[in-house]
Amino acid sequence: MKPLLLFVRQYCASFAVYLLIGGAAAVVEWLVFYATLSALHTHYVPASVGGFVVATYVNYLLSSGIGFKKSKRSTRSEMLLIYAVSGIGFVINVLCMSAAIELLDLPVMLAKFGGTGLAFVWNFGARQFLVFDREPRWRIGRSVIAETTDVTIKTPSEAS
């Protein structure tokens, strides 16, 4: 149990930051999806593709800028890898969405929200452990969240 708690503590702050990044990208995806679905009267799968392409780019910009430490890969390689791992997230999203629409008869947007939620967990893990540096950029200290690349936090007992 202790290794699990250490693992959660090590990545908790990164997960929280990615919740904001993924949330922003999800809003972009949902807006593009809804606009494509409504304005062009397309099926939900092509509308999902449009949302995926735009939201993945937004997610990459935010993830590489504030979410994760840069890996040793080139920017081009990172972006290609982001689209590759996000493609798996896209499949998770569309499969869940399709099942919710076709089998459960849920409204399209509600199904989209559910599919996005399930894909979120994969997307965080893939970025943290496959695309960017495995060392989290963000860590939880005793009383503060700090970016590990710029800040060292000392407790009062360590400072003396």
User: What does the pLDDT read at residue 59?
Assistant: 94
pTM reported for the whole predicted model: 0.76
24-79 confidence digits (pLDDT tens): 999 999 999 999 999 998 898 999 999 999 999 999 999 999 989 888 999 899 99
The tokens 């360590």 sit on which residue? Answer: 158
Residues 6+ apart with CB under 8 A from 90: 48, 49, 52, 119
H or E stretch covering 157: helix 156-159
Q: Could you tell me the pLDDT band of residue 151, with boundaries at 50, 70 and 90?
A: very low
Q: Return the higher-pLDDT residue of 113 and 8.
A: 113
107-142 confidence digits (pLDDT tens): 999 999 999 988 999 999 999 999 998 888 887 654
Do residues 79 and 147 make contact, with C-beta atoms less than 8 angstroms apart? no
User: What does the pLDDT read at residue 2?
Assistant: 81
Confidence check: pLDDT of 153 > 80 = no
Confidence check: pLDDT of 145 > 50 = no
Confidence check: pLDDT of 144 > 50 = no
Cα(125)–Cα(4) distance, rounded to whole angstroms? 15
User: What does the pLDDT read at residue 156?
Assistant: 52
Cα(59)–Cα(31) distance, rounded to whole angstroms? 14
Q: Could you tell me the pLDDT band of residue 89, with boundaries at 50, 70 and 90?
A: very high
Cα(88)–Cα(107) distance, rounded to whole angstroms? 23
